[in-house]
Amino acid sequence: MSRIQQAFARARAENRAAFVAYVCAGDPNFETSVEVCRALLANGVDILELGVPFSDPLADGLTNQLAAQRALEGGMTASRVFELVRRIREFSQAPVVFYTYYNLVFANGVDAYVRAARAAGVDGILTLDLPPEEAGEVAAACAAHGVETVFIIAPTSPDERIAKIAAATTGFLYYVSREGVTGVRDQVAVNIPQAVARIRAQTKLPTVVGFGIGTRAQVAEVAAHADGVVVGSALVNCVRDHLGDDKKIVAAIAARAADLAAGVKR
């Protein structure tokens, strides 16, 4: 099994959902980003979703937009994101999934990008603005280099669309529980059980749920139905709230991750 498959299998065996954590690579600086990733993986995170900094992150709300801006201003580049993954591989074999945009994959050649990602230790790629109908080149490169694909399903996706998205996916499906962009919400969406059931009727692939989940109680609510729970903005806020004190950033991320991880148990 791949590292991604192993993570979901381990979670199932322990009667819980997998905890998927998002942070932006290089936020607020390279070395602190390494320690943030270390803290997440030491405090219950099963799959690390690394946002690749981009100047036009159209799927993201203000929290993650500002994180990308901080990372870019701090000198993060595509090559440094690969370097970050190599540093993570020095202390962890947990799955790493890139959360990225097609411009970044396309700019220097799709095959070259995927090959470099795999060589660094990346397990999967989620390209936010790439629909499966246009993903043939990325899918071929991922198949050639042993990188799994992740695609998004929206609340508005009809059953026939879900089937098409699932057919293009090899890693896991990411159900966006709300229309709009990323960001913490006061309540989780009300239709998650029905949405996950619709997806499972079309595929045996794991389904994770994200967008708007930021507390232990919300994680527990989603974990009762989904194979995995994604938390992003609530973790990125730990960086924002302690800018200028890298040690406090890492400590805050560690504490928040441990608290959220307690919610995935069923």
Show pLDDT as tens, one digit a residue, over the chain (266 residues).
999 999 999 999 999 999 999 999 999 999 999 999 999 999 999 999 999 999 988 878 888 999 999 999 999 999 999 999 999 999 999 999 999 999 999 998 999 999 999 999 999 999 999 999 999 999 999 999 999 999 999 999 999 999 999 999 999 999 998 655 554 555 566 789 999 999 999 999 999 999 889 999 999 999 999 999 999 999 999 999 999 999 999 999 999 999 999 999 98
Rounded Cα distance between 213 and 218, Å, is 6
Give the pLDDT of residue 189.
65
**Among residues 27, 49, 123, 221, which one is catalytic?**
49
Residues in a beta bridge with 23: 50
Give the structural domain span for 151: 3-264
Given the residues 60, 123, 221, 227, the one annotated as active site: 60
CATH number, residue 156: 3.20.20.70
Q: Which residue has the tokens 């992003």?
A: 232
Task: Reply yes or no on whether 245 is catalytic.
Answer: no
The pLDDT value recorded for residue 61 is 80
pLDDT value, residue 62: 86
| Residue 108: alpha-carbon gap to chain centroid | 23
Instruction: Check residue 76 and give left, alpha or beta (phi > 0: left; psi -120 to 50: alpha).
Output: beta
Q: Do 117 and 150 touch, CB atoms closer than 8 A?
A: no
pLDDT at position 56 is 87
Strand partners, 164: none
Tally of domains in the chain: 1
Q: Model-level pTM?
A: 0.95
The set of residues, in sequence order, having a beta carbon less than 8 Å from that of 22 and lying 6+ positions away, is: 49, 50, 51, 64, 99, 210, 230, 231, 232, 235, 236
User: Can you give the pLDDT at residue 32?
Assistant: 98
Both structure tokens of 24: 């932006």
The whole-number pLDDT of residue 183 equals 47
Residue 160 appears among annotated catalytic residues: no
